[in-house]
């Protein structure tokens, strides 16, 4: 054996030791501690090229002591990462993850069970099946329901719509969708993943029909008119996509009303609940998703409002066989089901082949904290958005654009005297950039009703009302500085 290989084999064994484990875990513990009090920056002020310069080196050819690599992680990686555990991190829909789920990630990696086939993940497959079953029950689905973990809401919606396509066009798998495919109806605030799925499925994005919103929700009267028109024009409809927790404002479509319309017309309803389906855990907010069981398929991201680390997402279907029909290609060397028996292999219902058991961290978090506490956490994050709304309503220099329905709030800096909207658009855009660069807090912005607005998403249980006040004051001071005199 050459010396390089024998050195490597020795290193591999050394790296299984508690000392090395503690050194890696120590980075995480230090990060959790350093972000607890809200000291330090939320995000980096470095530019992409500054960060790139730090990592620009020839391919390392030889081994290094593990301590050196860990020191470099601390110095070069941790220093400029977005610190989502910081209480004034209020940007995108990415969580300050639950610690028990974070620690489980190392175990998931160590065990490296592959999710498609039961024989490769004899416990992982069962845990995934069980977590999916709990989620189906929360959604109000019956015993015939099922689902699978996915890489995110984007894949979950893709899989739900693939199942819808299979139901509408059973020959599409082998023959393609033909020259006159059915249309997909969605709300104007639908996530871009819906249009993307329609494109990927060969339906053509030109066959998406967009229903306007009223108060950031799908206008159900307009939906009925749209369906009526399509039916009169003899256009087939593949699916209606409703949103539970929209990306811009966290608003919920009326799933019960939309579900009734779809049932009356025999239409497949897919609910994009990537953000908001976690309301099912909450006793206070569950009403927002009333009627969700009317959906034939649901996308739901535990990596959003169940605060899982990336990634953990599921697609649920009311009839498990709909998902199996969607992926109706069989790989006999892999999947084993006896005639008439349900296949445990999740690969028969999934887009992916090799896949981590992301269900394990969800299962651990539910074991450790309990579903009721996760529901309270959902309520807490919504209450934090509501507290910010209440705070902003009292201020003359801000205007809130909607009452929060979940943990997302859009608002606009309007300054100290009247200014034209276009000027305020530019001012708000600049305000967001400059505020984030300052490092004291981190927010996003979006365009709502054609106007540039500021947007926050509460994804961190550590955020307090003192943090909210500090963000508002910081934005107000900076806004005043940026206002043209």
Ligand X SMILES: *Cc1c(COP(=O)(O)O)cnc(C)c1O
Q: Where on the chain is the footprint of ligand X (CB under 6 A)?
A: 93, 152-154, 191, 193, 243, 245-247, 272, 274-275, 301, 313
CB of 191 to ligand X, least distance (A): 3
The token duo for 336 is 């084993």
Angle, CA of 24, 356 and 372, to the nearest 5°: 85
Measured CA distances, 426 to 51, 383, 412, 432 (Å) = 28, 30, 11, 10
CB of 150 to ligand X, least distance (A): 8
- Spell out where 174-306 has E strands: 183-187, 208-211, 213-214, 217-218, 237-243, 269-273, 297-300
CA distance 392 to 453: 14
Q: Are 345 and 122 in contact (CB under 8 A)?
A: no
List the alpha helices (DSSP H) in 38-152: 48-55, 66-72, 99-111, 124-139
Helix, coil or strand: residue 414:
coil
Given the complex with ligand X, which of 247 and 376 has the nearer CB atom? 247
Q: Are 188 and 195 in contact (CB under 8 A)?
A: no
Given the complex with ligand X, which of 278 and 436 has the nearer CB atom? 278
Query: Torsion angle of alpha carbons 255, 408, 374, 129, nearest 10°?
Result: 50
Given the complex with ligand X, which of 101 and 475 has the nearer CB atom? 101
CB of 351 to ligand X, least distance (A): 12
CB of 271 to ligand X, least distance (A): 10
Given the complex with ligand X, which of 313 and 476 has the nearer CB atom? 313
CB of 259 to ligand X, least distance (A): 17
Given the complex with ligand X, which of 459 and 475 has the nearer CB atom? 459
CB of 217 to ligand X, least distance (A): 13
Given the complex with ligand X, which of 271 and 414 has the nearer CB atom? 271
CB of 304 to ligand X, least distance (A): 6
Query: What number of other Cβ atoms are within 10 A of residue 30's Cβ?
Result: 12
Given the complex with ligand X, which of 275 and 452 has the nearer CB atom? 275
CA distance 253 to 244: 6
């Amino acid at each position: 054996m050459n010396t390089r290989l024998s050195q490597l084999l020795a290193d591999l064994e050394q790296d299984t030791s508690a000392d090395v484990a503690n050194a890696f875990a120590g980075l995480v513990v230090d990060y959790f501690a350093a972000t607890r009090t809200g000291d330090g920056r939320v995000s980096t002020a470095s530019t992409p090229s500054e960060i790139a310069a730090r990592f620009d080196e020839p391919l390392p050819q030889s081994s290094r002591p593990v301590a050196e690599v860990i020191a470099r992680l601390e110095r070069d990686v941790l220093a400029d990462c977005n610190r989502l555990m910081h209480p004034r991190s209020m940007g995108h829909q990415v969580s300050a993850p639950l610690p028990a789920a974070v620690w489980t990630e190392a175990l998931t990696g160590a065990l490296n069970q592959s999710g498609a086939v039961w024989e490769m993940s004899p416990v992982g497959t069962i845990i995934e099946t069980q977590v999916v079953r709990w989620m189906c029950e929360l959604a109000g689905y019956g015993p015939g329901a099922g689902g699978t973990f996915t890489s995110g809401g984007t894949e979950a919606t893709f899989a739900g719509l693939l199942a819808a396509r299979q139901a509408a066009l059973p020959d599409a798998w082998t023959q393609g969708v033909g020259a006159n495919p059915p249309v997909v109806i969605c709300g104007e605030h639908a996530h871009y993943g819906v249009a993307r799925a329609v494109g990927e499925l060969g339906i053509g994005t030109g066959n998406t029909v967009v229903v306007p919103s009223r108060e950031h929700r799908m206008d159900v009267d307009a939906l009925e008119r749209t369906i009526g028109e399509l039916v009169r024009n003899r256009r087939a409809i593949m699916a209606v996509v409703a949103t539970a927790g929209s990306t811009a404002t966290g608003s919920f479509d009326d799933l019960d009303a939309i579900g009734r319309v779809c049932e009356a017309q025999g239409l497949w309803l897919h609910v994009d609940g990537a953000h908001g389906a976690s309301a099912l855990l909450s006793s206070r907010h569950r009403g927002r998703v009333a009627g969700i069981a009317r959906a034939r398929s649901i996308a739901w991201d535990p990596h959003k409002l169940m605060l899982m680390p990336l990634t953990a997402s599921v697609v649920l279907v009311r009839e498990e066989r709909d998902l199996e029909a969607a992926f109706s290609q069989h790989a006999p060397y892999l999947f084993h089901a006896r005639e008439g028996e349900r296949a445990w292999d999740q690969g028969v219902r999934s887009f992916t082949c090799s896949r981590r058991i992301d269900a394990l961290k969800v299962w651990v978090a539910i074991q450790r904290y309990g579903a009721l506490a996760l529901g309270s956490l959902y309520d807490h994050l919504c209450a934090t958005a509501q507290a910010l709304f209440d705070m902003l309503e009292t201020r003359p220099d801000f205007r809130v654009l909607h009452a929060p329905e979940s943990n997302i709030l859009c608002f606009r800096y309007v300054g100290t005297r009247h200014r034209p909207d276009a000027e305020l658009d530019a001012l708000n855009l600049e305000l967001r950039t400059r505020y984030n660069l300052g490092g004291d807090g981190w927010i996003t912005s979006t365009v709502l009703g054609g106007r540039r607005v500021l947007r926050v998403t509460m994804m961190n249980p550590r955020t307090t009302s003192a943090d909210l006040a500090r963000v508002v004051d910081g934005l107000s001071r900076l806004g005043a500085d940026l206002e043209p005199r």
